[in-house]
């Protein structure tokens, strides 16, 4: 699942991941992501931090306290690249931090690494 309020980034990430062989659920907001999670369980969530309404920090907190979603790995997908932001995300339960703008190869490599780590039991959600 890719969650981002910027339609161009959402569409580009979806296209890159689909070209990489992944099925993608796109959500243009935090609330839309939570609504879609009621119907499906993705293997990974790429979650934008800066969104209007419900931001990524709020969504992450909700995901990590809900028994149905707390085991889904979440990578924060954002332009925030300060060390404090990354630490806050990791402490909040994120498993990785993907900076925007992203390089297509890096996005695919990070997604592949996270999913391989989950399969091998090396990545905590």
pLDDT value for 63 = 96
Q: What is the pLDDT of residue 84?
A: 66
pLDDT digits (tens, 9 = 90+) for 71-114: 999 999 878 666 666 667 777 789 998 888 899 999 999 999 99
* Residues 17/42, Cβ–Cβ less than 8 Å: no
Q: So where are the chain's domains?
A: 2-103
d(C-alpha 78, C-alpha 36), whole Å: 21
Assigned superfamily of 2-103 = Response regulator (3.40.50.2300)
Q: Is the pLDDT of residue 125 over 70?
A: no
Confidence of residue 124 (pLDDT cuts 50, 70, 90): low
With 90 as the cut, is the pLDDT of residue 47 above it?
Answer: yes
Cα 66 to Cα 5, 23, 38: the distances in Å are: 23, 23, 11
- Residue 103 makes CB contacts below 8 A (sequence gap 6+) with none
CA separation (Å) from 76 to 18, 33, 52, 92?
19, 14, 16, 10
Q: Does residue 23 surpass a pLDDT of 60?
A: yes
Residue 20 has pLDDT above 80, yes or no: yes
């Amino acid at each position: 699942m890719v969650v981002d309020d910027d339609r161009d980034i959402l569409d580009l990430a979806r296209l890159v991941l689909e070209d990489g062989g992944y099925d993608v659920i796109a959500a243009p907001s935090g609330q839309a992501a939570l609504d879609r999670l009621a119907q499906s369980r993705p293997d990974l969530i790429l979650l934008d931090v800066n969104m209007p309404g419900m931001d990524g920090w709020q969504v992450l907190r909700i995901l990590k306290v809900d028994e149905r979603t707390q085991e889904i790995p979440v990578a924060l997908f954002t332009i925030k690249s300060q060390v404090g932001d990354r630490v806050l995300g990791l402490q909040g339960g994120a498993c990785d931090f993907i900076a925007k703008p992203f390089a297509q190869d890096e996005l695919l490599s990070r997604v592949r690494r996270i999913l391989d780590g989950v399969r091998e039991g090396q990545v905590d959600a």
